[in-house]
Amino acid sequence: MPVEKNDVDKAVIEFCKEVIKEPLLYFSESDLHVLLIEKLFNKIPTLQTKLYQTNVHRGRESKTCYQTRLVHREYGCGGKRRVDLAIFNENDIKKINTANLTIDSMYNYLPIDYCFELGTEKSGLDTTEKHAKSDIDKLKKSQTCGYLIHIFRDTTVFPSKTQERNVTEQELKDKFKNVFLRITDTIPSNVKIIAILLSSFRQQSKTHGKCNIFDKETRHWKRVNLSDVEDILKKQLR
Q: pLDDT value at position 166?
A: 64
What average pLDDT does the chain have?
90
pLDDT at 162 over 50: no
Quote the domain boundaries for residue 186: 5-236
Query: Using 50, 70 and 90 to split pLDDT, how confident is the model at 164?
Result: very low
pLDDT at 158 over 80: no
Q: What's the whole-number mean pLDDT along residues 12-30?
A: 96
pLDDT at 85 over 80: yes
Q: pLDDT value at position 125?
A: 85
137-151, 170-184, 206-220: which is most confident: 137-151
Tell me which amino acid residue 197 is: L
pLDDT at 208 over 90: no
How many domains are there within the chain? 1
- Look at 35-39, 65-69, 200-204, 223-227 and tell me which has the smallest mean pLDDT: 200-204
**Distance separating alpha carbons of residues 171 and 150, to the nearest angstrom:** 17
The DSSP 8-state label assigned to residue 27 in this structure reads S
Query: Using 50, 70 and 90 to split pLDDT, how confident is the model at 159?
Result: low
The pLDDT tens digits for 91-148 are 999 999 999 999 999 999 999 999 999 999 988 888 899 999 999 999 999 999 999 9
pLDDT at 60 over 90: no
Q: Which residues contact 201 (CB under 8 A, 6 or more apart)?
A: 154, 155, 156, 157
Give all strands of the β-sheet with 81-87 in edge-to-edge order: 71-78, 81-87, 114-120, 145-153, 191-198, 211-215, 220-224
Percent of the chain with pLDDT over 70: 92
Strand partners, 212: 197, 223
**Distance separating alpha carbons of residues 45 and 230, to the nearest angstrom:** 22
C-alpha to C-alpha distances, 74 to 17, 97, 171, nearest whole angstrom: 24, 19, 31
Angle of CA points 24, 134, 116, to nearest 5°: 50
Q: What is the largest CA-CA distance in the chain?
A: 70
